[in-house]
């Protein structure tokens, strides 16, 4: 059986790449589609129009649809013997509401009267008369489970105590914007880790046994240190033992013994320095991560470089980028980017929703946290502040105003004068203050007037 793939015409800004080349978990979206559909034995057939769809029954989708093997496997099983056209649907949930922004899926009601969201994956039994007829296909709701993960956030900054975040591996998303590429990367982290656990049973059994011994070792160490039985053998210690055990490390890696890798997949030939922590992340081949780095729930592309003391949270990087920011979250970075350590992408907006440009107008993303997208080959210098939801064009070179950077040190400076940087030069503080104070005009008639 074949799966026909229609062109969506979507181009992801600011990269200028066709959507099929969007990088998700270190792989092109087209390659992910081929893998998902190939898992069910389907032949991947790109076509230009519905007129080229000739063999039935078949499956039909668009080149901008991201889905997981679990989601499509469930849809495939439910429609294998269907006598009518069917469309993949996910029940109304935290997932469908969390990722609703800029989606062109359709709200629908299932046969049992439950609300759902229908995505652009069909099983067709006969040729549709027109694209509009595809909407008449019966929505088939796949088996769906999610975890409502609620990490704590700064309450006075965010206006909330927790951030609701769905964790599931039964996913579907129409990729139409760079924000969707970022979200798909977040989903792919969960998908890859869970697939590793469910598809490699011997490996999983070994890791569970390793986690048990690690838990016992951590508990005994706590007792030796005098923490007491309840403090040594608790849920926190069990969780720590599990996340440290479920790790995949590729070939020829150089990982310092002082680094902590937790619940992550590390590619081949990766270098990780001391006192670095990588949690819940995917790291591509030949990546270099230096000392004292913190990477959480992120995708580090192949051959990326992360300098020491960088902090990266919930970001995704295309290959070959320098992701060296000391504090960056919910950002998407292109190829060959040069992000310096002290650049500042702001990721929240106090008192209002975050908007992005979509089809020529601002659109709210419906989430309280979002950074920016950095185009291929751009350079961001230190002390550059960027508002949330911005797109930095390919090749942009951005620095702070030169007059705020010290470039001239005049002779005669002394250790008793306080200086400030003004117009790129050291200026005595008292002289600088005189420049700020408004000049007072003498009264008419001179000093002795009146």
The confidence score (pLDDT) of residue 450 equals: 44
- Superfamily of domain 2-153+170-177, CATH level 4: Spore Coat Polysaccharide Biosynthesis Protein SpsA; Chain A (3.90.550.10)
CATH 2.160.10.10 maps onto the chain at: 250-398
Give the HSE-up count for residue 87: Cα atoms under 13 Å, Cβ half-sphere.
23
Q: Count helices and strands (H / E) in the chain.
A: 9, 42
**Locus of tokens 């902590």:** 260
Q: What is the pLDDT of residue 436?
A: 85
Q: What is the pLDDT of residues 150-165, one digit of tens each?
A: 989 899 888 889 988 9
CB atoms within 10 A of CB 61: 22
CATH 3.90.550.10 domain residues, the chain: 2-153+170-177
Q: CATH homologous superfamily of domain 250-398?
A: Hexapeptide repeat proteins (2.160.10.10)
pLDDT at 218: 76
Cross-strand partners of 261: 278
What is residue 332's predicted lDDT score, i.e. its pLDDT? 98
- State what percent of residues in the chain have pLDDT above 90: 73
Give CA–CA dist 7/10, Å, rounded. 8
Question: What burial letters (b/e) apply to 263-298, b meaning 16+ CB within 10 Å?
Answer: bbbbbebbebbeebbbbbbbbbbbbbbbbbbbbbbb
Regions of the chain short of the pLDDT cut 70: 439-450
């Amino acid at each position: 059986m074949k799966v026909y793939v229609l062109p969506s015409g979507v181009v992801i800004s600011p990269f200028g790449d066709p959507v099929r080349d969007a990088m998700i978990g270190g792989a092109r979206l087209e390659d992910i589609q081929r893998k998902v559909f190939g898992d069910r034995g389907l032949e991947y057939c790109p076509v230009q129009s519905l007129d080229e769809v000739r063999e039935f029954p078949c499956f039909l989708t668009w080149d901008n649809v991201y889905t997981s093997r679990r989601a499509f496997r469930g849809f495939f099983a439910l429609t294998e013997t269907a006598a009518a056209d069917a469309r993949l649907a996910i029940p109304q949930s935290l997932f469908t509401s969390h990722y609703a922004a800029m989606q062109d899926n359709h709200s629908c009601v299932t046969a049992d009267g439950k609300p759902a969201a229908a995505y652009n994956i069909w099983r067709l039994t006969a040729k549709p008369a027109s694209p509009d007829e595809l909407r008449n296909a019966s929505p088939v709701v796949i088996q769906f489970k999610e975890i409502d993960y609620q990490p704590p956030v700064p309450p006075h900054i965010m206006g909330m105590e927790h951030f609701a975040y769905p964790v599931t591996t039964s996913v579907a998303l129409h990729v139409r914007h760079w924000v969707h590429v970022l979200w798909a990367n977040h989903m792919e982290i969960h998908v890859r880790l869970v697939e590793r656990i469910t598809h490699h049973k011997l490996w999983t059994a070994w890791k569970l046994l390793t986690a048990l011994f690690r838990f016992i070792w951590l508990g005994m160490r706590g007792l030796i240190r005098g923490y007491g039985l309840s403090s040594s053998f608790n849920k926190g210690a069990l969780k720590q033992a599990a996340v440290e055990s479920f790790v995949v490390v590729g070939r020829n890696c150089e990982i310092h013994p002082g680094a902590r890798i937790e619940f992550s997949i590390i590619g081949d030939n990766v270098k990780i320095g001391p006192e670095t922590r990588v949690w819940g992340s995917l790291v591509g081949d030949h990546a270099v991560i230096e000392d004292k780095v913190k990477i959480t729930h992120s995708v580090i592309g192949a051959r990326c470089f992360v300098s020491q003391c960088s902090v990266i949270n919930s970001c995704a990087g295309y290959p070959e980028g320098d992701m060296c920011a000391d504090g960056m979250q919910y950002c998407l970075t292109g190829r060959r980017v040069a992000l310096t350590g002290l650049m500042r992408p702001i990721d929240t907006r106090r008192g209002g929703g975050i908007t992005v440009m979509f089809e020529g107008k601002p659109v709210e993303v419906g989430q309280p946290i979002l950074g920016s997208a950095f185009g291929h080959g751009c350079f961001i210098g230190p002390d550059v502040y960027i508002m949330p939801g911005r797109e930095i064009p390919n090749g942009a070179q951005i620095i702070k105003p030169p007059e705020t950077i010290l470039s001239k040190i005049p002779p005669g400076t002394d250790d008793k004068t306080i200086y400030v940087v003004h117009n790129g030069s050291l200026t005595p503080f008292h002289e600088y203050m005189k420049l700020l104070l408004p000049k007072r005009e003498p009264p008419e008639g001179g000093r002795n007037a009146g």
